[in-house]
């Protein structure tokens, strides 16, 4: 029986992952911030939309709030780094003893803070170079092919969840040297982010400015 993915954070990457997991037929649940957001999501149809190569596909994905009682076996944390620690702490009572928590945040520091909140749970760090942006709530445009690196600094054994990523067409690699990858991503962001502000464009638009 497939393990349900709970996705915390319905931003660009969270929605992108949720859509691709749902496309592969895997059970997915969005965790939304409050009852108002949940009501708005359900009123809009209870679906996420992925736009890829200008073709839109919509997938039915159930949603809930943190107060739901369903146990969590696999949690993708895709919210902003500064929200991650408190958000995961709120969900800690729902985490199964054998749960995996995937931390998909940029930068350094937030991952360790989250892991310290749930020391009995395996935390997998993730870093992504995939491009995506929200066109509207729960509608994400896949803007650029990239890659996802995953690792666990305390346990080099690859987790079973990688099978789901393969089935979903999410490009990934398990790396025992994850911190080096994270430092590289941080350095890249330090170079790219000021340029996007300077040219008032998204990351992919830098090519038009010969950057």
DSSP 175: -
* Structure tokens, 54: 């200008």
Can you name the residues that pair with 100 across neighbouring β-strands?
A: 74, 122
Are the beta carbons of 15 and 32 closer than 8 angstroms? no
Are the beta carbons of 191 and 46 closer than 8 angstroms? no
What is the pairing mode between strands 148-151 and 122-128? antiparallel
CA 48 to chain centre: 14
Phi, then psi, of 74 in degrees rounded to 5: -145, 115
Residues 6 or more apart whose CB falls under 8 angstroms from that of 131 comprise 142, 143, 144, 145, 146, 202, 203, 204
The catalytic residue among 167, 185, 195, 206 is 185
| 185 is a catalytic site residue | yes
Report the catalytic residues: 185
């Amino acid at each position: 029986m497939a393990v349900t993915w709970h996705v915390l954070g319905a931003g660009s990457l969270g929605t992108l992952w949720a859509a691709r997991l749902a496309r592969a037929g895997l059970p997915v649940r969005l965790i939304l911030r409050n009852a108002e957001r949940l009501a708005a999501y359900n009123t809009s149809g209870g679906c996420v939309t992925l736009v890829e190569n200008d073709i839109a596909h919509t997938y039915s994905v159930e949603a809930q709030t943190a107060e739901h009682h369903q146990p969590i076996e696999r949690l993708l944390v895709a919210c902003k780094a500064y929200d991650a620690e408190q958000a995961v702490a709120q969900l800690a009572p729902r985490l199964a003893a054998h749960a995996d928590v995937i931390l998909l945040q940029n930068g350094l520091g937030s991952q360790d803070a989250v892991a310290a909140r749930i020391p009995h749970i395996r935390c997998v760090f993730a870093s992504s170079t995939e491009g995506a942006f929200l066109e509207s709530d729960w509608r994400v445009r896949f803007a650029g092919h990239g890659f996802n690196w995953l690792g666990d600094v305390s346990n080099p054994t690859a987790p079973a969840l990688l099978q789901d990523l393969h089935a979903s067409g999410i490009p990934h690699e398990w790396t025992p040297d994850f911190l080096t990858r994270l430092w590289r991503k941080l350095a890249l962001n330090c170079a790219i982010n000021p340029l996007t502000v300077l040219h008032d464009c998204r990351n992919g638009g830098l090519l038009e400015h010969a950057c």
